[in-house]
Amino acid sequence: MTDVLAVQTKRRSRLRISKQLRTPLALTGGVIVAFWLLVAVFAPLIRPFDPLAQDFDRLQAPSAAHWFGTDQVGRDVLSRVISGAQVSIPLALMLVIFAMLIGSVLGAIAGYFGKALDETIMRIADLVFAFPTIILAMVIAASLGPSLTNAVIAMLIVSWPAYARVTRSLVLGARNAEYVVAGRLLGNGPFTSLSKDVLPNVVSPVVVLATLDVGTAILLLSGLSFLGLGAVPPTPDWGAMVSDGVQNFSSWWIAAFPGLAILTVVLAFNFLGDALRDALDPRSQEAVQGRAL
Amino acid sequence: MTLLSLDDVRVTYKLPGRGTLNAVDGVSFDLEPRQVLGLVGESGCGKSTLARAVCGLEPTSAGSISFNGQRIGKLGLRKRDPALMRIQMVFQNPFASLNPRRTIGSQIEDGLRVNPDRDAWNVAQLLEHVELDASSRDRYPHQFSGGQRQRIAIARAIAAGPELLIGDEPIASLDASLQARVAKLMRKLAVETGAALLFISHDLSVVRVIADDVAVMSAGKIVERGPVDRVWTNPQDAYTQRLLAAIPVVDGLGRLPG
């Protein structure tokens, strides 16, 4: 009978999460994200032309042959938008994963050990927070020289402190929980204690923050490319394509389609992150602080 | 030889501003191996602080605590001395004392790993000893009730093979019907494994059932200590007398204590 009970509670919790992820917004977000991931993976197969080939007449309006038209040097815009997914999405995901790893490890160390280590790490984080994100990223990217790698490094430098702050505050709350103290009494050293008892209980809010951040990362990356500090021509990057479009303002299709791509991806990741937050947050708060009596 | 010896232990907290608070104010007592000592007193009298100090979780400002002749210092961020792992604690809140993300079996194994006698127990035996189903080892803490969780916490502490088991108000957040049962279980396991038990509670009537000796604490000091029957029938100190008078009597007259 106890087994039946266990199965029931398991099934119920799975149902509850999926119900919260089954809202219209979450579904829309999920479908669009899945669509763009498929586009990124199968880009070489589905793009009609070579994104770098300047084979066509310049500045053609959208037509049956070129659905999204051609740009100022005669490249097919549809092929470039499809290839752009291969540039922006993997880089944004990688960036968010690395920022999360660096930020949460530093934040966890700051929160758990406290004192001088805490002060040092968090003051550096404050230093980064003191500048507007895009300006600081621009300065760093400009000083490193324009390339996608440098843009990602610059964004990594500006985006880890958010994760450090969130993780630190969660670790501060969790490190004096009785189960952590009980673990210490059983001989857990500080790193065992962190990895075994503290981090598993604070990880879900950080993951939610990361999901919400993917959209921002794509936007920031496109922004840097737009300003000429990211992708170097002729790399098909959405931000750089919007920038091309601005220089040929009468040919609206050059900027509009990559712009739409950015809009849909960012919006979709935000929907997904919101739904994930709604699904995970109450549970994780309860888990970190120990349920009230 | 004396198992645990406290000599004029003081724990002082700084209050906001200038003042200080002596949570524990010059406590001395000895605990012999296999002895069951009840420590009672009203909330805020320093019982829990004393227990935390014995575990090295609270720095003492004066006096000394020694366990098997070894002095207990502040645990801080170091790994705990294996000799001091013979002191284990069961906490007050059963909803906070188990890691919600790990199965209870793996948490009990944490205790077994530091037991010097490797083959003393296994998880299934321990679960059966605390009256739980051996098959529940793969379940998570949220699938258990408060009383069950407290018994799991006791199993984890016993798994480490303690010579001194401390219960820091382990029954305070349980239903009245469970309190005596869990308290008796703790005594039984401590006696079976040859551990001494320091049982902290504000409820003298429960302590009377399980303890050999009782120490009464008030405002950071121990005001009276003696065999539990003597303290119960013939309290010497005025505070103990008041504590006893506050226990409700079931005489059908509807009188309130006091």
pLDDT tens track of chain B, all 258 residues?
789 999 999 999 888 888 888 899 999 999 999 999 999 988 888 889 999 999 999 899 999 999 998 998 888 888 888 889 999 999 998 889 999 889 999 999 999 988 888 777 889 989 998 889 888 889 999 889 888 999 999 999 999 999 999 999 988 888 888 888 889 999 999 999 999 999 999 888 888 889 999 999 998 899 999 999 999 899 999 999 988 888 877 776 766 665
Query: What is the Cα–Cα distance from B205 to B218, expressed in whole angstroms?
Result: 17
Specify the amino acid at residue B110. D
pLDDT of residue B172: 85
What per-residue confidence (pLDDT) applies to A20?
A: 62
Query: Looking at beta carbons, which pairs linking B224-233 to residues 24 or more positions away fall under 8 Å?
Result: B225/B29, B228/B38, B232/B204, B232/B208
Q: Does B134 touch chain A (CB under 8 A)?
A: no
Q: What is the pLDDT of residue A14?
A: 46
Structure tokens at B158: 């016993």
What pLDDT score was predicted for residue A123?
A: 95
Q: Do A293 and B75 touch (CB under 8 A)?
A: no
pLDDT at A285 over 60: no
CB proximity B77 to A under 8 Å: yes
3-state secondary structure of B114: coil
Considering only CB atoms, which chain A residues are within 8 Å of B139? 6
pLDDT of res. B51: 92
Residues 6 or more apart whose Cβ sits within 8 Å of residue A19: none
CA distances from A114 to A165, B50, B131 (A): 13, 25, 41
Question: How much of chain A exceeds pLDDT 70, in percent?
Answer: 88
Q: What is the pLDDT of residue B256?
A: 61
- For the domain made up of A70-281, the CATH class stated in words is mainly alpha
Amino acid (one-letter) located at A120: T
Kindly state the greatest CA–CA separation across chain A.
75
CB of A45 within 8 Å of any CB in chain B? no
AA identity, residue A64: A
- Of the candidates B82, B100, B156, the beta carbon closest to that of A187 is on B82
**C-beta separation of B106 from B155 below 8 A:** no
Residue B211 Cα distances to B199, B229, B246, B247, B249, angstroms = 8, 10, 20, 17, 21
Produce one character per residue of A210-239: b if its CB has 16 or more CB atoms within 10 Å, e if not: bbbbbbbbbbbbbbbbbbebbbeeebbbbb
The answer to whether B97 contacts A190, with C-beta atoms less than 8 Å apart, is no
Distances B80 to A117, A198, B12, B88 between C-alpha atoms, Å = 22, 18, 23, 12
Whether A292 shows a pLDDT value over 50: the answer reads: no
State the average pLDDT for chain A: 84
- At A211, the pLDDT band (50, 70, 90 cuts) reads confident
Give the span between the Cα atoms of B200 and A93, in whole angstroms. Answer: 52
The full set of domain ranges for chain B reads: 4-245
Res. A19: pLDDT tops 80: no
Domain B4-245: CATH architecture, name and number where available:
3-Layer(aba) Sandwich (3.40)
pLDDT of residue A291: 46
Chain B positions touching A183 (Cβ under 8 A) are 99, 110
List chain A domain ranges. Answer: 70-281
CB B199 within 8 A of CB B167: yes
Query: Closest residue of B to A178, CA-based?
Result: B97
Q: Is some CB atom of chain A closer than 8 A to the CB atom of B153?
A: yes
pLDDT at A282: 52
